[in-house]
Amino acid sequence: MRTSYTTLMQSKYFNPAFNSAIFDGPVRIYFAQFHEALALKIYFSVQQRLADQLAMAKEKAKASGANILVMVYPTEESFLLSFENMNAAIKGPLEVEKWNEDVVIGLRGPIEDENMDLLVDTLRLTMENWRPAEILRAVAPLEV
């Protein structure tokens, strides 16, 4: 499924504070303007540390139209509103959910530098294990 901006705006993952985005193939980082420095840091970390995985993810996205959405929530409260099924007692800095063919990685507010490795590792694992349905159908068509 190709997630349009309108579909995203109507989803539980959208926050009105998201007034900026960085797109690099299937990786889309949504953030409030005041988190631009963090969003750029995430973007450059992905470019530098995940070049091979990003190239593979771009091919998967081209075939399926699916994306990996990184949502930098402005506050913990806004994060919890989007991931209401989460146990609020869990205090990890991020959460990952599958949304249709897309994957959403939500950050519990701006992450600290010590959590950047966790985010990059999560993105790496997400890209390596990402299996949009359209790709699977193209590789292994349904038997009639």
Three-state helix/strand/coil letters over the chain: CCCCHHHHHCCCCCCCCCCEEEEECCEEEEECHHHHHHHHHHHHHHHHHCHHHHHHHHHHHHHHCCCEEEEECCCHHHHHHHCCCCCCCCCCCEEEEEECCEEEEEECCCCCHHHHHHHHHHHHHHHHHCCCHHHHHHHCCCCC
Q: Is residue 53 part of a domain?
A: yes
| Mean pLDDT along residues 10-23 | 93
Q: Is residue 26 part of a domain?
A: yes
Q: Is residue 141 part of a domain?
A: no
Q: Is residue 135 part of a domain?
A: no
Q: Is residue 136 part of a domain?
A: no
What pLDDT digit, counting tens, does each position of 21-79 carry?
Answer: 999 989 999 999 999 999 999 999 999 999 999 999 999 888 888 999 999 999 988 99
Buried b (16+ CB within 10 A) or exposed e, 102-124: bbbbbbbbbbeeebbeebbebbb
Q: Is residue 138 part of a domain?
A: no
Domain that holds residue 89: 5-127
Distant-in-sequence, close-in-space partners of 86: CB < 8 Å, separation ≥ 6: 80, 95
Residue 142: per-residue pLDDT: 41
Q: Is residue 98 part of a domain?
A: yes
Residue 10: pLDDT over 80 = yes
94-99 vs 68-72, strand pairing mode: unpaired
pTM for this prediction: 0.85
Residue 4: pLDDT over 60 = yes
Domain count, the chain: 1
Residue 136: per-residue pLDDT: 41
Q: Is residue 134 part of a domain?
A: no
Cα torsion angle, 113, 50, 75, 18, sign = positive
Structure tokens at 69: 């959405």
